[in-house]
Amino acid sequence: MAECAHMKDDGDCEVKLDTRPSNQQFDPKRPEGDIVISKSVGQGGVNIYDDVYNIQYGLDQVAPIDGGPSPQLVIDGKCGPKTMAAIRDFQKKHFGWAGCDGRIDPGQQTIKKLNEKRNRNVYPTIPLSLNTDGWLLSGMLQHVPHIRACVHAAMTNISLAMNVVDNNMPGLLGADRPSRMRTLNKHFRIDNFKGAKRPVLEKMHDAYSFMLNVLDRPEAYTTLDTTNEGETISTVAFARLGGFHQKDDLTGKIVFRRGVLFATGIPDFAAFIFIHELRHYIAKDGTQGHFAKGWVTDPGMLALKETETINNCDTFAGFALECKNGDMERPIWVKTTVFR
């Protein structure tokens, strides 16, 4: 399930997931089942990288009230002072000062207690690396052809409507106005606009056209989040408002996060997220963003003002998907979270 997004002060946005399939391996390096170490970890220990990594991972799954580290450890496979202190704190909590030597030995009481106290549903935050986690990004970019097709479908729909939008005479040029405006009105409610409506369509067409420019070179305009600053592991993506039009556009990229794993296997989900972020990224005047989140029929979306509707990220994503796929109900992975 996708739980869409939160606007940050600087215009970045996130798309959040609210549930995780329990059978899905979320972090590729996550230890499966009980943590087992081959040699001792901690003060005076052998400290093999994999052992330290797994102990750090396990400690970060322990709640502070159960002796877990707060803030969480950086999971880097290196046994430094903070890792050793976290081991001592955990031991002190469960075995008192007598059992507090700062070292975890294979098969002994500390590793047993650690496995007992780990909350297996808590996923520690580990910064992504382009080297080892690049498959997450490529998993997203494999859908670029489908995403391009969605954007093209949206542009075609808008183009076909341009010549009829300001002309209420049925049958002119052989165009059937109601049918050509149907999807546009469903998502963008173009007919609610007063005055000439063609300029509105032209702006929207331009927006999708800019998106194609980004999709021409996704490797230049997208990246993985390799910092993970203060964020939860469930975040999917964010983008700098107007990044495409900034002089240093390559520094403000569309940033995918660990949560894209859930989208990589679902082409329409990937397209929804990507087009949503593209809408932020190609924004020119800073007004494009979140006025509500979710599918076109959600109450929050239906309550949008006209100018908000034509600038809303999810509206752009949902419209393109429907133009590509035909009529569709709200996808199960879209969930509204923001109401006016």
Chain residues in the site for Zn ion (CB under 5 A):
5, 13, 313
For Zn ion, the closer CB: 277 or 322: 277
Residue 15, classed as helix, strand or coil, is strand
Nearer to Zn ion, 55 or 292 (CB): 292
Cα 146 to Cα 338: distance, rounded to the nearest angstrom: 28
Say which DSSP state 239 is in: E
Q: Which of 205, 127, 133, 111 is nearest to 163 (CA)?
A: 205
- CA 136 from centroid of its chain's CA atoms: 12
| Smallest distance from Zn ion to CB 318, Å | 13
- Comparison of 157 and 312: residue with beta carbon closer to Zn ion: 312
Closest CB to Zn ion among residues 283, 313: 313
Tell me the C-alpha distance between 223 and 240, whole Å: 12
Nearest to 280 by CA among 321, 322, 252, 306: 252
User: Residue written as tokens 């970060």?
Assistant: 60
User: Between 5 and 153, whose beta carbon lies closer to Zn ion?
Assistant: 5
User: Positive or negative, the Cα torsion across 242, 248, 249, 255?
Assistant: negative
The Cβ of residue 302 has, within 10 Å, a number of other Cβ atoms equal to: 13
Task: Give the nearest distance from C-beta 6 to Zn ion in angstroms.
Answer: 8
CB of 289 to Zn ion, least distance (A): 6
The minimum distance between CB 300 and Zn ion, in angstroms, equals 14
Give the nearest distance from C-beta 184 to Zn ion in angstroms: 22
Beta pairing partners, 222: 254
